[in-house]
Amino acid sequence: MKVFRGDGALLLDEETQQIEAETNRLTSNQVVRLNLDLALEAGIVCHRDMTNAYVDAVEKLIDLETIRKAGLRVIVDPMYGVGQLTLGIILTEARCRVTFIHERHDPLFGGHSPAPNLAALRLLTTQLIEGKFDLGLATDGDADRIAIVDEKGRYISTNDLLLLVYWYLHEVRGERGGVVRNLATTHLLDRMSVAFGEKGIEVPVGFKHIAAAMVAHNALLGGESSGGLTVRGHILGKDGIFACALVVEMLARTGKCISEIQEEVWKITGRLYTLEESLPATPEMRVRIAKLMKETPIPTIDAYPVQSVSHVDGTKVLLENDNWALLRFSGTEPVLRLMVEADSPEKAQEFIDWLKRFCSSAS
């Protein structure tokens, strides 16, 4: 069961714990089951169309007039999900020249997983290049995560997207505040926050942790490498529609394309390279590998000295120059995630290979 506040925000830890505690105190005899039609008739459950209120809320935070003057051409892939309606309204009212693909609602999502990753965006990329669009946007099935493709047809990773958005909010919009990321997200955000004289906060995986830290630190941006982000003043939850509109505003207000902004950002942060793999995980692996991770000293990864090891959420090994390697069991899938960030693609592959050898020693 997924519970949200009335304003669309995620519940924080203490709130979900209260619900869990109350639910777990119930016996099966105390659970009341009610037919949906009867519940609707009695007013216990109601349907509400929040489309207009939601669009108004997003448009209050977006500079529509600047976008209208830019005349941007945008192609969007909602991946057969729910993103087309609201994003279509916002971009049309902003006078963008918008083309949609895969806009038809389909509960099977065209036979593919509705995750906006590189492999799923081939048609978007092809049509962007052929149609000479300024920007390609994609949202996942429920439109809380996004992906973007630049004017050259290059997929922009979520880590790079977060850097672009944080730079834009701080340096162009002139807003101030730190950034919150989960422990599987790029440390280049930390470098940028230091360059801006702001605070970078790391939290465990789970957007509720990002939301809680944003409140605690009055942070400007919160995001995760899986594609979700939000900013201060908007709902405390992932929102792909708002994120897409903000990226379009960034292009309109700066007058620059994504690749130009990215080069400007890298001048501030330098480069790091991420790599991720997933291994099938059994319940036995969860026990054996978790025990090995906590009990085995890790002085080095190959020839690279380890600075510290954290077991807050999985095992994260920290090395020099913001390099790191993470082993973490997924909370939603039967897989073990291997994630690294390093100075070069070759070094990132070395870290991944080391993690695989580490895992195999527990077999």
Please name which of 151, 155, 169, 132 lies closest in space to residue 243, comparing C-alpha atoms.
169
Q: Do residue 238 and residue 334 come from a single domain?
A: no
Residues near 173 by beta carbon (within 8 Å), at least 6 away in sequence? none
Final residue before a domain boundary, out of 205, 234, 269: 269
Average pLDDT for the chain: 93
Q: Do residue 191 and residue 175 come from a single domain?
A: yes
pLDDT in tens, 19-37: 999 999 999 899 988 999 9
Final residue before a domain boundary, out of 269, 291, 311: 269
Instruction: Name the β-bridge partners of 222.
Output: 180, 230
**Residue-level pLDDT at 363:** 60
pLDDT in tens, 181-240: 999 999 999 999 999 999 999 999 989 899 989 999 999 999 999 889 999 999 888 999
Residues near 325 by beta carbon (within 8 Å), at least 6 away in sequence? 301, 316, 317, 319, 338, 339, 340, 351, 352, 354, 355
pTM as predicted = 0.92
Q: Do residue 72 and residue 210 come from a single domain?
A: yes
pLDDT per residue, tens digit, the chain (363 aa), is 778 887 777 787 788 889 999 999 999 899 988 999 999 999 999 999 999 999 999 999 999 999 999 999 999 999 999 999 999 999 999 999 999 999 999 899 988 888 888 889 999 999 999 999 999 999 999 999 999 999 999 999 999 999 999 999 999 999 999 999 999 999 999 999 999 999 999 999 989 899 989 999 999 999 999 889 999 999 888 999 999 999 999 999 999 999 999 999 999 999 999 999 999 988 888 888 888 888 888 999 999 999 999 999 999 999 999 999 999 998 888 899 999 999 999 999 999 999 999 888 766
155: which 2 tokens? 């997929």
Are 241 and 83 spatial neighbours (Cβ–Cβ below 8 Å)? yes
Domain range holding 28? 1-47
Q: Do residue 125 and residue 192 come from a single domain?
A: yes
Residues near 213 by beta carbon (within 8 Å), at least 6 away in sequence? 180, 201, 203, 219, 222
Whole-number Å distance between alpha carbons of 226 and 107: 22
**Residue-level pLDDT at 242:** 96
In this structure, what CATH number is given to the domain that contains residue 301? 3.30.310.50
Q: Do residue 253 and residue 289 come from a single domain?
A: no
* Number of domains observed in the structure of the chain: 3
Q: Do residue 293 and residue 222 come from a single domain?
A: no
In this structure, what CATH number is given to the domain that contains residue 181? 3.40.120.10
Q: Do residue 60 and residue 169 come from a single domain?
A: yes
